[in-house]
């Protein structure tokens, strides 16, 4: 038996009051060769109830004043504890949940360190230890099987130890299980700041690092199959196409390409026919002419063709209106009426243009421009609605060409871990590309997974507020809705396909509440912003009031661990990784930079 420290004096529902004995106020107790922690807030005690021990957590304590009448009035104070049942011990094993309640007069006792450890520890066969209980300083083995079979959220302000926790979680997992994972799981890390491109997580035998760069041409590239690239939804992601006008336009572009895919030099034929339709039309369209000039200038780079287009203008006469070609003062040719002149001035130059080897993004710009010309001529689209999309394609194609490669055959990556570094990408690419990467891996995994899943995909997104924010005012509402809906689908439906997501962020309030509420387990470091704390209170049902109140004052590296995998919230100090394996996110040491 352990040390008795009090007796139950009140039971009001699940609120229990214990009158503490005089010997209960010590910091540490020793009994029978075992060490016992004294009573304080968040400590655990056991209340004897028949042959069982009801485990309670201490939520508060107070003094109750009593008067004794002797020769004079003497005031004494009785220490009382406010405790709450969380589970019970039966046959030496802890079981969570309030199944039994104590009665008045039941004796409260201290719990040994071994019993406290058993409250939290579930996996005694294979240890998965990433830290210790903050107060008790007991190492706790987390149930890795249930932990990584769930969506995880790791939140904390800058400098709170969030990145160390993320890295520690997966480093310990890979150290223990990496050999057993081969061919059964895939881990994809979206690394916005280049924190995991070194010796972190695992050795290079199991890890592939893709360094994407938009500022130079020497970076790696993320590979897409051409069937995946030439998809209206993929192109809509890349260029933030609006749902009602620009996405249908992209569908016309991709379906037209697919229809003529088996015809040799079909793009050259498409180009020549479009030029002829515009320049020889009996109903000349100046917008279409300007688009031809843009096409010749940005894609074909044929100076002779550009000079010829520069001499084209619209003229009316003899009850007709058509484009004419200025040869000299007072000398012109009506292109609709002079086929020989058109052939010598334009058709010959167009025949010299070879588009068979044009790259994916240049081909997209050519096809999009040709399609919008056809749409404008037929009246099926408004130029003003499609023009912003063409300008985005033109502006972003060089950046995307540096980070994406479109191929007709994609080799399966044998590495277990893929780290995709976006550190050297422009901000706009950082916002768009992760969505494409997540969709690529999610759809690819769904296409091959069985039921029930025998393989898993784990998508880890550090600094998740960069792509899951609801607060951005720099993008259209329809695009923001699509961006969030994609990740909401992954977090809602992914588990049935064996797809699990881990989000780390310093601003959880910026992330969609739907996504945060669908996470299963949380590692919450220090947060001080009221909006962040309010979000956690409203979305995490397993977070109790005492744990929530401690979040703003947690020391560096400490976090509240809670969720469906854990019976009760834990306050843990996460072990710091060795210097050669910790994430590349250390604080700046000004005493060294500015030192003597």
Q: Where are the alpha helices (DSSP H) in 34-191?
A: 113-120, 144-147, 162-181
> pLDDT tens digit string along 118-155?
777 654 445 788 888 887 777 878 888 888 888 999 99
Range of lowest pLDDT (4-18, 327-341, 491-505, 560-574) = 327-341
**285 pLDDT tier (thresholds 50, 70, 90):** confident
Which domains are present in the chain?
A: 4-120 (no CATH), 141-206+415-587 (3.40.50.300), 227-405 (no CATH)
> pLDDT tens digit string along 399-429?
888 888 888 877 777 788 899 999 888 888 8
Mean of pLDDT values over 208-224: 88
25: CB partners within 8 A, 6+ apart: 38, 39, 79
| Packing angle, helices 246-259 and 383-403, rounded to 10 | 70
Give the per-residue pLDDT at 100.
Answer: 84
Give the per-residue pLDDT at 124.
Answer: 46
Identify the three-state secondary structure at position 500: strand
Instruction: Answer whether residue 44 shows pLDDT above 50.
Output: yes
Q: Give, in order, the Cα–Cα distances in Å from 237 to each of 440, 483, 486.
A: 11, 8, 10
Return the number of other C-beta atoms located less than 10 Å from residue 108's C-beta. Answer: 28
> pLDDT tens digit string along 464-496?
887 887 665 555 555 566 778 888 888 888 888
Identify the three-state secondary structure at position 91: coil
Return the number of other C-beta atoms located less than 10 Å from residue 85's C-beta. Answer: 21
CB 462 within 8 A of CB 197: no
Return the number of other C-beta atoms located less than 10 Å from residue 326's C-beta. Answer: 14
């Amino acid at each position: 038996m352990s040390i008795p420290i009090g007796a139950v004096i009140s039971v009001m529902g699940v609120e229990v009051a214990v009158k503490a004995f005089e010997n209960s106020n010590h910091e540490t107790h020793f009994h029978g060769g075992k060490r016992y922690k004294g009573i304080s807030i968040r400590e655990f005690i056991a209340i004897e109830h028949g042959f069982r021990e009801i485990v309670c957590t201490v939520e508060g304590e107070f003094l109750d004043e009593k008067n004794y009448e002797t020769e004079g009035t003497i005031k004494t104070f009785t220490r009382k504890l406010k405790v709450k049942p969380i589970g019970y011990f039966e046959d030496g094993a802890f079981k969570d949940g309030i199944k039994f309640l104590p009665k008045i007069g039941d004796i409260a006792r201290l719990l040994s360190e071994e019993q406290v450890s058993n409250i939290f520890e579930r996996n005694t066969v294979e240890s998965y230890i990433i830290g210790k209980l903050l107060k008790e300083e007991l190492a706790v083995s987390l149930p890795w099987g249930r932990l990584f079979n769930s969506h995880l959220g790791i939140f904390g302000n800058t400098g709170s130890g969030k990145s160390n926790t993320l890295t520690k979680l997966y480093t310990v997992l890979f150290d223990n299980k990496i050999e057993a994972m081969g061919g059964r799981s895939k881990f994809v890390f979206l690394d916005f700041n280049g924190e995991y491109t070194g010796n972190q997580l695992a050795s290079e035998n199991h890890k592939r690092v893709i360094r994407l760069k938009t500022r130079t041409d020497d970076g790696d590239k993320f590979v897409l199959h051409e069937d995946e690239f030439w998809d209206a939804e993929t192109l809509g992601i890349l260029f933030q196409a609006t749902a009602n006008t620009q996405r249908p336009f992209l569908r016309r572009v991709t379906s037209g390409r697919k229809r003529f895919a088996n015809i040799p030099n079909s793009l050259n034929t498409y180009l020549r026919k479009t030029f002829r339709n515009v320049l020889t039309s009996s109903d000349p369209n100046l917008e279409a002419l300007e688009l031809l000039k843009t096409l010749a200038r940005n894609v074909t780079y044929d100076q002779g063709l550009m000079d010829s287009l520069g001499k084209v203008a619209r003229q009316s006469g003899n009850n007709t209106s058509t484009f004419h070609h200025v040869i000299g003062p007072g000398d012109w040719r009506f292109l609709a009426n002079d086929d020989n002149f058109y052939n010598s001035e334009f058709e010959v130059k167009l025949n010299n243009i070879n588009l068979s080897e044009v790259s994916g993004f240049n081909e997209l710009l050519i096809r999009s421009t040709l399609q919008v010309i056809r749409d404008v001529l037929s009246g099926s689209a408004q130029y003003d609605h499609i023009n912003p999309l063409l300008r985005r394609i033109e502006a972003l194609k060089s950046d995307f060409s540096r980070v994406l490669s479109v191929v007709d055959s994609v080799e399966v990556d044998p590495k277990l871990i893929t780290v995709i570094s976006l550190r050297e990408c422009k901000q706009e690419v950082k916002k768009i590309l992760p969505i494409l990467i997540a969709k690529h891996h999610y759809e690819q995994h769904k296409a091959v997974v069985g039921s029930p899943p025998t393989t898993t995909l784990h998508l880890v997104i550090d600094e998740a507020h960069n792509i899951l924010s609801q607060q951005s005012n720099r993008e259209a509402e329809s695009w923001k809705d699509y961006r969030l809906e994609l990740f909401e689908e992954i977090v809602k439906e992914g588990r049935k396909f064996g797809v699990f997501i881990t989000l780390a962020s310093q601003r959880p309030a910026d992330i969609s509440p739907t996504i945060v509420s669908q996470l299963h387990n949380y590692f919450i470091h220090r947060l001080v912003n009221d909006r962040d704390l309010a979000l956690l209170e409203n979305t995490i049902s397993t977070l109790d009031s005492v744990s929530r109140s401690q979040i703003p004052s947690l020391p560096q590296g400490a976090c509240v661990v809670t969720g469906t995998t854990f019976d009760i919230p834990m306050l843990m100090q996460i072990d710091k990784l060795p210097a050669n394996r910790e994430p590349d996110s250390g604080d700046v040491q000004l005493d060294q930079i500015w030192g003597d």
